[in-house]
């Protein structure tokens, strides 16, 4: 299955999925399209896709009736993906599945790595993957992220000798980009629909709505599965403003002591009659004996975290 196995095993990390490289793509000049699915939703991965075929046969993609994935139903997308798989003698594809965890950690790390930069680097990595596999690329068509002219110039400098075309709505202009769009969307839909929750949430309501922040059903799901201390399941992009706003309003307030404050964190916590964060890590190495009300929270056990008193 296009979108299964590696990501299902561990959906907290990103992975690459790919088809076999058609022999003809190693001997004939080829074109390649790039598109993504799931840039805007607060739930689930973002998937970047490439599709490639010989330039001499790109008109045959039109015969497959590929179109912008957003204009197709889920059933139509899956049927077209199967048709492309049947055309594997001359059509190849690869996908980069970026987990919600990867996206949020990138955006919130100390050195900011925004979604546009992540998108550019992912697209560049997929083009390089095709080249490394021996695909004879001569033309690349890309659905733009950010200003099209700057992105086109950037890609042209990285891949000299390849004619790069970057356009808004490229998925509706170039069949090879439409094909990449379908691959990416089918993979994302599968990942969200068959999401394996690592957290102990019991019977999870899988009716997330569209996954977009403006969808009332999605917002209701976020509220239902918001842990006031540890936040959201890893299906959620916690860097999205919708998720952050709900966490700020419904989560437990955390008091942060300024670095220049003379009072250390433990003393400040005692003064406010709160527990210091350090107190959660003061048990004997290995977690000590835990019983009754002092059971390890699933946040730590899910991540195989244990308390240490020496390093």
pLDDT tens digits for range 158-206: 999 999 999 999 999 999 999 999 999 999 999 998 898 888 888 889 8
Domain holding 38, by residue range, is 6-194
Token match 């860097």: residue?
239
Any known ligand binding at 28? no
Residues 232/234/239/242 CA torsion (nearest 10 deg): -50
Closest CA to 199 of 237, 225, 224: 225
> Is 214 a domain residue?
no
> Is 293 a domain residue?
no
Closest CA to 124 of 149, 145, 105: 145
- State the CATH number of the domain containing residue 176: 3.30.420.10
CB atoms within 10 A of CB 15: 19
Q: What is the pLDDT of residues 51-92, one digit of tens each?
A: 999 999 988 888 888 876 777 888 999 999 999 999 999 999
Q: How far is CA 218 from CA 28, 123, 198, 208, in A?
A: 46, 28, 20, 5
User: Hey, which residues does 37 pair with through a beta bridge?
Assistant: 47
Question: What is the number of structural domains in the chain?
Answer: 1
The pLDDT score that the predictor gives to residue 17 is 93
Token match 């009300």: residue?
293
> Is 61 a domain residue?
yes
Any known ligand binding at 36? yes
Angle, alpha carbons 259-262-264 (nearest 5°) = 75
> Is 168 a domain residue?
yes
10 versus 109: the higher-pLDDT residue is 109
> Is 27 a domain residue?
yes
> Is 99 a domain residue?
yes
> Is 76 a domain residue?
yes
User: Hey, which residues does 231 pair with through a beta bridge?
Assistant: 227
Q: What is the pLDDT of residues 290-309, one digit of tens each?
A: 444 567 766 776 666 777 66
Any known ligand binding at 86? no
Cα–Cα distance for residue pair 33/175, rounded to 1 Å: 8
> Is 262 a domain residue?
no
Task: For residue 212, give every residue at least 6 positions away whose Cβ sits within 8 Å of its Cβ, in sequence order, or none.
Answer: 40, 41, 42, 218
Burial class (CB in 10 A: 0-12, 13-18, 19+), 192: middle
């Amino acid at each position: 299955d296009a979108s299964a196995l590696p990501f299902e095993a561990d959906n907290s990390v990103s992975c690459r999925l790919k088809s076999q490289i058609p022999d003809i793509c190693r001997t004939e000049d080829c074109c390649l399209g790039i598109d993504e699915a799931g840039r805007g939703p607060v739930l689930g991965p973002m998937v970047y896709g490439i599709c490639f075929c010989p330039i001499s046969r790109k008109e045959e993609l039109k015969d497959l009736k590929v179109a912008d994935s957003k204009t197709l139903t889920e059933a139509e997308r899956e049927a077209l993906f199967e048709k492309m798989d049947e055309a594997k003698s001359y059509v190849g594809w690869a996908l980069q599945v970026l987990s919600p965890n990867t996206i949020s950690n990138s955006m919130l790390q100390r050195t900011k790595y925004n979604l546009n930069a992540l998108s550019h680097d992912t697209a560049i990595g997929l083009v390089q993957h095709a080249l490394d596999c021996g695909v004879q690329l001569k033309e690349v068509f890309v659905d733009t992220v950010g200003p099209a002219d700057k992105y086109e110039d950037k890609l042209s400098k990285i891949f000299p000798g390849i004619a790069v075309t970057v356009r808004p709505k490229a998925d509706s202009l170039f069949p090879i980009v439409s094909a990449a769009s379908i691959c990416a969307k089918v993979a994302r839909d599968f990942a969200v629909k068959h999401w394996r929750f690592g957290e102990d949430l019991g019977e999870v309501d899988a009716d997330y709505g569209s996954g977009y922040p403006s969808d009332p059903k999605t917002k209701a799901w976020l509220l239902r599965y918001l842990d006031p201390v540890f936040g959201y399941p890893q299906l959620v992009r916690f860097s999205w403003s919708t998720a952050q706003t709900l966490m700020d309003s419904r989560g437990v307030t955390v008091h942060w002591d300024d670095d220049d404050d003379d009072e250390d964190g433990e003393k400040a916590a005692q003064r406010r009659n709160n527990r210091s964060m350090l107190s959660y890590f003061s048990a004997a190495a290995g977690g000590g004996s835990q019983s009754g009300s002092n059971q390890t929270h699933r946040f730590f056990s899910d991540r195989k975290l244990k308390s240490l008193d020496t390093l």
